[in-house]
């Protein structure tokens, strides 16, 4: 056991800090170690972190429009990461109301589950993403790609 951990446990036993405070101190003390470990893992993988989330939609001309439809959305990953961090500041009552509103519109999604580590996991899984597009008109073709670059 290292000296810092021993000091934290000593303060806890003496009643100088609460169990919650001791837990936070120990977690904060271990955080740089976890960050260094993840940095070494990412360096060993030598895979650059994606900078953008890209959504592309291409459809051929279907006779109803003047030409093909093309959509190209490029969202900076830093914007997504910042948004996820800001979501942590939303009061629980507001999250509950937003979740209820989405549920009323048929979207089964819990905003309380959005965390920065979940975003990174999502980015890693985008390589396996497949999007199916159902259309009433079988003559037109739509291609949707979602990926990170």
- pLDDT, tens digit, for every residue of 98-140? 889 988 988 888 887 777 777 777 777 776 666 767 666 666 6
Shared domain check, 94 and 77? yes
Shared domain check, 107 and 56? yes
Shared domain check, 57 and 32? no
Shared domain check, 70 and 120? yes
Residue 95 CB partners (closer than 8 Å, separation 6+):
111, 112
Shared domain check, 43 and 83? no
Supply the pLDDT for residue 46. 59
Q: Decide if 141 contacts 59 (C-beta within 8 A).
A: yes
Q: Which residues pair with 71 in a beta bridge?
A: 57
Token pair 């592309």 in the structure block, residue:
56
Supply the pLDDT for residue 138. 63
Supply the pLDDT for residue 33. 47
Shared domain check, 63 and 134? yes
Shared domain check, 54 and 42? no
> Which has the minimum average pLDDT: 13-27, 28-42, 103-117?
28-42
Q: What is the pLDDT of residues 61-82, one digit of tens each?
A: 666 666 677 888 888 888 888 8
Shared domain check, 74 and 134? yes
Q: Is the pLDDT of residue 36 over 60?
A: no
Q: Whole domain around residue 3: which residue ranges? A: 1-47
Residue 71 and residue 144: Cα distance in Å, rounded? 9
Residue 112 and residue 92: Cα distance in Å, rounded? 8
Shared domain check, 130 and 64? yes
Shared domain check, 39 and 57? no
* Structural domains of the chain, count: 2
């Amino acid at each position: 056991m290292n000296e810092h951990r021993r000091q934290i446990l000593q303060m806890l036993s003496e009643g100088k800090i609460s169990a919650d405070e001791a837990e936070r101190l120990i977690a904060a003390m271990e955080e740089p170690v976890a960050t260094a470990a993840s940095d070494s893992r990412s360096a060993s993988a030598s895979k650059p972190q994606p900078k953008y989330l890209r959504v592309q939609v291409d459809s051929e001309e279907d006779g109803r429009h003047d030409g093909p439809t093309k959509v190209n959305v490029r969202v900076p990953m830093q914007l997504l990461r910042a948004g996820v961090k800001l979501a942590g500041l939303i009061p629980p009552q507001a999250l509950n109301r937003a979740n209820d509103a989405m549920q009323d519109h048929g979207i089964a999604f819990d905003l309380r589950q959005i965390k920065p580590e979940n975003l990174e996991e999502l980015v890693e899984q985008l390589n396996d993403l497949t999007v199916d597009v159902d259309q009433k008109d079988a003559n037109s073709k739509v291609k949707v790609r979602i990926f990170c670059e």
